[in-house]
């Protein structure tokens, strides 16, 4: 956490909100708009990785079959 606390934090939530231009312009766009923004070039996991239960996809729900309504009896012819 010491390293994380040293990262530049004065841009707040504004840095990174323009994803389309960031994707198009890459590092040059970021450097021109947020010159003090820190970047992580590499990271190394130290120690055993935390295990998490495998996420299973939720079972798809099948629509309930509704029994068709019985047909109304045909009207009796008038005599």
Domain residue ranges of the chain, discontinuous segments joined by +: 2-33
Which pLDDT belongs to residue 72?
A: 66
Answer with the residue of higher pLDDT: 54 or 30: 30
pLDDT in tens, 40-79: 888 888 888 777 776 666 666 666 677 677 766 667 777 6
Mean pLDDT along residues 22-39:
89
Answer with the residue of higher pLDDT: 11 or 75: 11
Residue 28 has pLDDT above 90, yes or no: yes
Q: Which whole-number Å values give the CA distances from 30 to 4, 5, 9, 36, 40, in the listed order?
A: 20, 21, 15, 10, 13
Both structure tokens of 42: 């590499």
């Amino acid at each position: 956490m010491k390293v994380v606390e040293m990262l530049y934090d004065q841009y707040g939530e504004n840095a990174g909100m323009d994803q389309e231009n960031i994707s198009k312009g890459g590092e040059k766009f970021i450097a021109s708009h947020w010159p003090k923004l820190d970047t992580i070039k590499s990271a190394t996991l130290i120690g055993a990785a935390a295990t998490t239960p495998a996420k299973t996809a939720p079972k798809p729900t099948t629509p309930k079959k509704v029994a068709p309504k019985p047909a109304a009896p045909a009207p009796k012819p008038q005599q």
